[in-house]
Amino acid sequence: MKNRTAFTEEFREQIYRLVRMIPRGKVATYGQLAFLAGYPRHARMAGRALKEVPHVLHLPCHRVVNASGRCVPGWLEQAKRLRSEKVPFLPCGNVDLNRCLWDSYGERETGKPEPGEQNRQRLSTGPGKKGHFNSIRKGKKG
């Protein structure tokens, strides 16, 4: 079993690597990052890792929102940055995840699909897909 420090360091490094990959105009959720890092159901830990990012890394942390598309409370610059990248928002003020959730399996940093990647199973929380990350983890289709 890994010790807590190694787990945290490894997890942080993976989260930072994933955040660097989110293209302009797209967002990821904390749960999505945790899942992709190999730690499903650790969304809060992903949030904590991003809260503690050293400024010298210059990560695009503003591209990470919660599962509802809500920006970080009190960080007014986050929504401003996302809007400058043409990220669509809903009338309630949340990011429109149906239109701009990062398809981590089918997009490169340019936002274009990788050759041959169009048919791979994608992580999405589109309409009717609530809880989709858990169904993938459990091997269910849907």
Is the whole model's pTM more than 0.85, yes or no? Answer: no
Using one digit for the tens of pLDDT, what is the confidence trace for 4-63? 655 688 899 999 999 999 999 999 999 999 999 999 999 999 999 999 999 999 999 999
Q: Which domain holds residue 120?
A: 4-137
Q: How many domains does the chain have?
A: 1
Would you say residue 142 lies in a domain?
no
Q: What CATH number is attached to the domain comprising 41?
A: 1.10.10.10
Using one digit for the tens of pLDDT, what is the confidence trace for 94-108? 999 999 999 988 754
pLDDT band at 133 (very low <50, low <70, confident <90, very high): very low
Would you say residue 94 lies in a domain?
yes
Q: How many CB atoms lie within 10 A of CB 25?
A: 16
Would you say residue 44 lies in a domain?
yes
Would you say residue 124 lies in a domain?
yes
Which one, of 48, 51, 62, lies nearest residue 20 by Cα? 62
Burial grade of 108 (CB within 10 A; 0-12, 13-18, 19 or more): exposed
